[in-house]
Amino acid sequence: MKSNGTDLSLRASIITLGCPKNEVDSEVLSGELTAHGVEIVDDEEYADILYVNTCGFIEAAKRESIGAILQAVKWKQRRTGRRVVVWGCLSQRYRELKELIPEIDGCFGVEPFEIMIRNTAFSGYRWTEAAWNRRYPCSPGHTAYVKIADGCSHSCAFCAIPMIKGPYRSRPMESVVTEVRHLAARGVKEIILIAQDTGAYGMDRKEKQGLYRLLRGLVRVPGLCWIRMMYLHPAHLSENIISMMEGEPKICRYVDMPLQHIDETLLRAMRRPVSRDKIVQLIERLRTIPQMVLRTAFIVGFPGETEFRFRTLMDFIRENRFDRLGAFVFSAEEGTEAFAMSGKVRPVTAAARYRQLMALQQKISRELNEARIGETVDVLIDEYDAFSRRSAGRTSGDAPEIDQTVWVNGFHEPGRIIPVTLTAGFEYDLEGSPAVKLKMDIGR
């Protein structure tokens, strides 16, 4: 650990597990370490200290995090003087982690960055909101996640996030807008707003229409082309936000709204505050907007999910034909209400239901994509694949990593938004060729 000023010879590497919120946290940590003289290296073999940013949301994520920590311990043992620092959701949830794995040198939860940085790299460190503007980007330079809040104040029966992260806490609006201005000045064309419940932004600060007011500020930031919102809880997706998506060109017509289930009995058991009728009304309203893309997520195998209730969910998916859909097998998490619920579904049954649901969505997705052949759409180029001699990009209806890729013939500069005529549609990908006239590019 450092006493005062930074050891300029210190080199650090960061392993990030879990969701985009963790990616943002790692980028902020990288920026702060760099600002204080620590060199960030991609290859941990050259590092003196390895930070492992963990996820502890569900069982699979916990296993992955434990595996990464054990690998980090092996890394440490290969050279004298190396240190391993574990932080994030897993170590917040299981404070005994350092006792169980004593080779860990520092173990921190979701405490402020100030505490961890002081104890691992620079004892004189002081956190300021300006840290958000010094992020060290890990994602492509034209796209950036922006975390507008942390924590969660919902009480969903299956979810451990409130227990791990605490209640919902919005960042100051000025801090978010300033960060986005810095990102845009560095060439970012797409920002993706994230929180546990993006629509609840500002409510904890007693701010009326917080997300709406934030969006009004963000659309005025020069250089931005796309503003995307993720994790829009149906309880807080208001009409003014929907109307803004309808009328403001910079805001993507894309709604990521996890529904979890549609059976009324299960929605009540899950402690979801929105009824089936309200969900149907929301979907009907969103479908009135041309080119609107709906993404959702469901849980299968929740306690009490009978075959009839699962079929109710499948029928709902057939009727609504979501553009994008993810599913998860229920994970019984200690400390949650659902952990001790009766009516548990056998793992083999839950897994079979997951496969059935995803097979249905795969069929729907292919049909929707095939119906788009001949359309001309704007595509943000992410990268070039030299092997296939094609560029990979996304439409405004596709978020990075979780949604579809549009493969465009030829080389196109990453960060450009070009019009593409779609020529083929598959389950989760599209193919196309550049339209004759370039409609928009990185300089916009």
pLDDT digits (tens, 9 = 90+) for 142-191: 999 999 999 999 999 999 999 999 999 999 999 999 999 999 999 999 99
Gap between the Cα atoms of 110 and 25, Å rounded? 10
Arithmetic mean of pLDDT over the chain? 93
Judge if 126 and 167 occupy the same domain. Answer: no
Residue 440 lies in a domain: no
pLDDT tens, position by position, 273-300: 999 999 999 999 999 999 999 999 999 9
Q: What is the pLDDT of residue 5?
A: 46
Are both 189 and 246 inside the same structural domain? yes
* pLDDT of 136 above 90: no
Q: Model confidence at 399, in pLDDT bands (50, 70, 90)?
A: very high
pLDDT band at residue 130 using 50, 70 and 90 as cut-offs: confident
Using the predicted structure, report yes or no on whether residue 440 has a pLDDT greater than 80.
no
47 three-state secondary structure = coil
Q: Residue 1 falls within a domain, yes or no?
A: no
- Residue 8: pLDDT band (50, 70, 90) is low
One domain for residues 166 and 180 = yes
Please check whether residues 244 and 390 belong to one and the same domain. no
Q: Is residue 4 part of a domain?
A: no
CA distances from 156 to 81, 88, 92, 259 (A): 44, 21, 19, 12
Work out the average pLDDT over 380-406. 96
pLDDT in tens, 29-41: 999 999 888 999 9
DSSP 8-state secondary structure symbol assigned to residue 345 = P
Q: What pLDDT was estimated at residue 131?
A: 85
198 & 82 share domain: no
CA distance linking residue 101 with residue 369, whole number of Å: 48
More confident residue, 56 or 341: 341
Helices 276-286 and 239-247: crossing angle in degrees, nearest 10, is 20
Chosen domain end from 370, 392, 419: 370
Please give the residue that has the higher pLDDT: either 6 or 349.
349
Do both 105 and 140 map to the same domain?
Answer: no
Q: Which helix (H) or strand (E) holds 353?
A: helix 347-370
**Containing H/E element for 241?**
helix 239-247
* pLDDT above 90 for 9: no
Same-domain pairing of 125 and 150: no
Q: What number is the average pLDDT over the span 326-355? A: 97
Kindly report the CATH number assigned to the domain that includes residue 331: 3.80.30.20
pLDDT of residue 210: 96
Q: In this structure, are 238 and 276 located in the same domain?
A: yes
**Each residue of 209-263: pLDDT tens digit?**
999 999 999 999 999 999 999 999 999 999 999 999 999 999 999 999 999 999 9
Residue 120 lies in a domain: yes
* Residues 47 and 139 occupy one common structural domain: no
Q: Are residues 345 and 282 in the same domain?
A: yes
Amino acid, single-letter form, for residue 109: G
Confidence of residue 3 (pLDDT cuts 50, 70, 90): very low
Sheet with 11-16, edge to edge strand ranges: 39-40, 11-16, 49-54, 83-88, 106-107
The number of CA neighbours under 13 Å toward the Cβ of 79 is 13
The answer to whether residue 443 is domain-embedded is no
Q: Give the C-alpha distances (Å, rounded to integers) separating 311 from 277, 283, 411.
A: 18, 20, 45
Q: Say which amino acid occupies 369.
A: N
Are both 61 and 142 inside the same structural domain? no
Residue 444: pLDDT over 50: no
Taking the C-alpha atoms of residue 159 and residue 336, their distance in angstroms, rounded to an integer, is 6
What does the alpha-carbon distance between residue 429 and residue 404 come to, in Å, rounded to a whole number?
Answer: 5
From 83, 109, 130, the end of a domain falls on: 130
Same domain, 152 and 277: yes
Domain that holds residue 70: 11-130
Instruction: Answer yes or no: is 303 within a domain.
Output: yes
Which pLDDT value is given to residue 437? 55
Residue 6 located in a structural domain? no
Bridge partner residues of 294 (DSSP)? 255
223: left (phi over 0), alpha (psi -120 to 50) or beta: left
Q: What is the CATH number of the domain that holds 381?
A: 2.40.50.140
pLDDT, position 438: 47
Backbone angles phi, psi at 36, to 5 degrees: -110, 25
What is the rounded CA–CA span in Å between residue 183 and residue 130?
13
Instruction: Answer whether residue 1 shows pLDDT above 60.
Output: no
pLDDT exceeds 60 at position 93: yes
Report whether pLDDT(342) > 70: yes
Query: In 3D, which of 275, 221, 210, 212 has the Cα closest to residue 247?
Result: 212
pLDDT of 134 = 86
Report percent pLDDT > 70 for the chain.
96
The pLDDT score that the predictor gives to residue 427 is 96
pLDDT, average across residues 89-98: 92
- Within-domain flag for 441: no
Pairwise CA distance, residues 232 & 258, whole Å: 7
Amino acid found at 301: G
Domain total in the chain: 3
User: Which of 130, 146, 172 is where one domain is finished?
Assistant: 130
